[in-house]
């Protein structure tokens, strides 16, 4: 059971309350804004685990010259959420140390804030705000390498600007949000059941994670009970999604150091997992498995098949790390220290590879996983991020076996307390996903705030690449494997 606390405060009280929560071990999971009659309502969600605690600070600001005190000096993620809200709502974070735009690109019309209720259709796009103010690194021998936003292959657009001396990266800036899709706006006015398919498509490789976070948020707000058996089925789906994505990444990392035969073998295993997904849900990417109030599984995965796959993956990982070239390329490459990972607010395997003990499966559980302990490493390099994936594959297979073998007569949890809002926290395969929903009196959605873990992890990529060499960028980028789609809502 989670402990949920809601506090209505004034804008002036915000820094003091936030500082107290952060000092008590909470982290900022999201900031959500919504325009209504007479002004804007903001909700700051702070979360902590063991026990599962969720605290919302709610405040209001007027429509005329809306502004809030900036929390960027207390929390790096807070500064990014504040920049996002300013770009989409026009709410100014006072005394923000880096008041540059985050989401808005130069062709967005000045003064048009698309998430406002009175935004209307977009005006003609032009070039009113000028180019993005990239920091220029100067000095003898320094030159720039621009990459993207259009890339070879099928990945979505993102611009990377390297400042380089020789082959050494002095500074990297990642510029995203080229495909802002307005997904959060598309939720507005829908009935909760009609928003589920949209939640599944926030990021195509994380359909289960986002659908489940959305359902948990809706179920909390509407007091929809979910049986213990259905929650276990959802956990099975979540681990199946983790399996095929981690296997894919292991192969891609091997391919980036020219060990293509292992890449081919992970492709073979990935296909086995996708076919297993289709048997379990009828969809290779597990869509349709998570439903409001429950789950729908056509069949349960065969533990013997999963254990055979696990042994196959373990052999591939061992072959990779026993190869001196692979070990040399992985070890000590793009180190993200534990201190940097903590300060930046990283999540998921990126955080755990740098020693952070964070995992929503344990810290914010929706079903009982016993004494589950997430895998951790401390070196924070490409090697650690590879090893974490390999270890999580074994852990996921063990969890699925445990969940399938548990008796179905376990006591069902009590229904959640009703509210006009709800929060869902789920450990997706990249890290913790957060959804927060608000309902109108007629039961329709008036606000859905979606946070993919990539929002937290993108700033860590340039930090890890500091002093790395340009040829290592594809390898390091793949070791993070962040979502453009999930981050570009």
Report percent pLDDT > 90 for the chain: 84
Q: What pLDDT was estimated at residue 229?
A: 95
The answer for residues whose C-beta is within 8 angstroms of residue 20's C-beta and 6 or more apart is none
79 and 198 co-located in one domain: no
Query: 444, 445, 450: which is closest to 488 by C-alpha?
Result: 450
| pLDDT at position 408 over 60 | no
Q: Does 263 reside within a domain?
A: yes
The per-residue pLDDT for range 40-79, each reduced to its tens digit, is 999 999 999 999 999 999 999 999 999 999 999 999 999 9
Query: Cα 95 to the chain's mean position, in Å?
Result: 27
Q: What pLDDT was estimated at residue 407?
A: 62
| pLDDT at position 421 over 70 | yes
450 is known to lie in a ligand binding site: yes
**pLDDT confidence band for 335 (50 / 70 / 90):** very high
Instruction: Report the CATH number that the domain containing residue 89 is assigned in CATH.
Output: 3.30.460.80
Q: Which of 94, 125, 160 is the last residue of a domain?
A: 94
418 and 272 co-located in one domain: yes
Q: Does 458 reside within a domain?
A: no
Which pTM was predicted? 0.96
Q: Does 478 reside within a domain?
A: no
Q: What angle do CA 400, 402, 407 make, to 5 degrees?
A: 120
How many angstroms separate the CA atoms of 48 and 27, rounded?
6
Instruction: Report the CATH number that the domain containing residue 367 is assigned in CATH.
Output: 1.10.645.10
Q: What pLDDT was estimated at residue 167?
A: 94
221 and 75 co-located in one domain: no
Q: Does 47 reside within a domain?
A: yes
16 is known to lie in a ligand binding site: no
Q: Does 165 reside within a domain?
A: no
Please tell me which residue, 485 or 68, carries the higher pLDDT value: 68
Cβ-count burial of 133 within 10 angstroms (0-12 exposed, 13-18 middle, 19+ buried)?
A: exposed
CA atoms within 13 A on the CB side of 27: 24
Q: Does 482 reside within a domain?
A: no
The per-residue pLDDT for range 226-248, each reduced to its tens digit, is 999 999 999 999 999 999 999 99
**Rounded to the nearest 10 degrees, what angle do helices 228-256 and 207-222 cross at?**
150
Q: Does 132 reside within a domain?
A: no
Domain boundaries, position 61: 3-94
Cβ-count burial of 238 within 10 angstroms (0-12 exposed, 13-18 middle, 19+ buried)?
A: buried
Q: Does 206 reside within a domain?
A: yes
88 and 199 co-located in one domain: no
74 and 209 co-located in one domain: no
76 and 212 co-located in one domain: no
How many domains are there within the chain?
Answer: 2
């Amino acid at each position: 059971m989670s402990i949920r606390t809601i506090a209505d405060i004034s804008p002036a009280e915000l820094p003091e309350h936030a500082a107290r929560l952060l000092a008590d071990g909470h982290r900022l999971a999201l900031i959500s804004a919504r325009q209504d009659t007479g002004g804007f309502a903001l909700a700051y969600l702070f979360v902590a685990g063991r026990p599962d605690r969720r605290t919302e600070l709610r405040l209001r600001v007027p429509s005329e010259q809306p502004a809030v005190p900036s929390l960027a000096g207390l929390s790096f993620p807070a500064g990014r959420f504040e920049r996002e809200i300013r770009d989409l709502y026009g709410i100014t974070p006072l005394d923000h140390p880096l008041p540059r735009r985050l989401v808005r690109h130069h062709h967005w019309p000045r003064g048009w804030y698309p998430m406002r209720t009175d935004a209307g259709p977009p005006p003609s796009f032009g070039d009113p705000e000028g180019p993005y103010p990239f920091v220029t690194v100067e000095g003898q021998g320094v030159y720039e390498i621009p990459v993207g936003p259009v890339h070879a292959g099928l990945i979505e657009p993102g611009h990377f600007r390297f400042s380089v001396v020789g082959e050494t990266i002095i500074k990297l800036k990642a510029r995203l949000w080229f495909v802002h899709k307005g997904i959060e706006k598309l939720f507005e006015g829908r009935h909760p059941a009609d928003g589920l398919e949209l939640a599944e498509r926030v990021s195509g490789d994380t359909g289960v994670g986002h659908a489940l976070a959305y359902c948990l948020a809706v179920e909390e707000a509407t007091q929809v009970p979910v049986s213990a058996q259905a929650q276990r089925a959802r956990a099975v789906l979540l681990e199946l999604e983790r399996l095929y994505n981690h296997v894919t990444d292991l192969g891609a990392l091997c391919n980036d150091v020219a060990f293509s035969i292992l890449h081919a073998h992970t492709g073979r295993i990935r296909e086995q997992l996708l076919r297993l997904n289709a048997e379990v849900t009828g969809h290779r990417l597990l869509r349709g498995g998570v439903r409001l109030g429950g789950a729908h599984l056509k069949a349960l995965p065969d533990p013997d098949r999963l254990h055979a796959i696990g042994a196959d993956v373990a052999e591939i990982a061992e072959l990779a790390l026993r190869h001196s070239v692979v070990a040399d390329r992985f070890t000590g490459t793009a180190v993200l220290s534990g201190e940097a990972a903590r300060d930046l607010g990283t999540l998921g395997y990126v955080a755990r590879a740098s020693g952070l003990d964070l995992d929503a499966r344990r810290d914010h559980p929706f079903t009982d996983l016993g004494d589950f302990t997430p895998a951790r490493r401390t070196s924070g390099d490409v090697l650690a991020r590879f090893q974490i994936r390999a270890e999580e594959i074994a852990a996921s297979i063990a969890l699925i076996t445990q969940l399938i073998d548990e008796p179905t007569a376990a006591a069902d949890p009590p229904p959640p307390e009703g509210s006009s809002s709800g929060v869902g926290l789920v450990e997706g395969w990249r890290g913790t996903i957060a959804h927060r929903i608000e309902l109108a009196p007629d039961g329709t959605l008036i606000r859905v705030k979606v946070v993919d873990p990539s929002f937290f992890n993108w700033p860590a990529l340039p930090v890890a690449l500091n002093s790395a060499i340009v040829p290592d960028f594809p390898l390091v980028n793949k070791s993070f494997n962040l979502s453009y789609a999930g981050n570009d809502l």
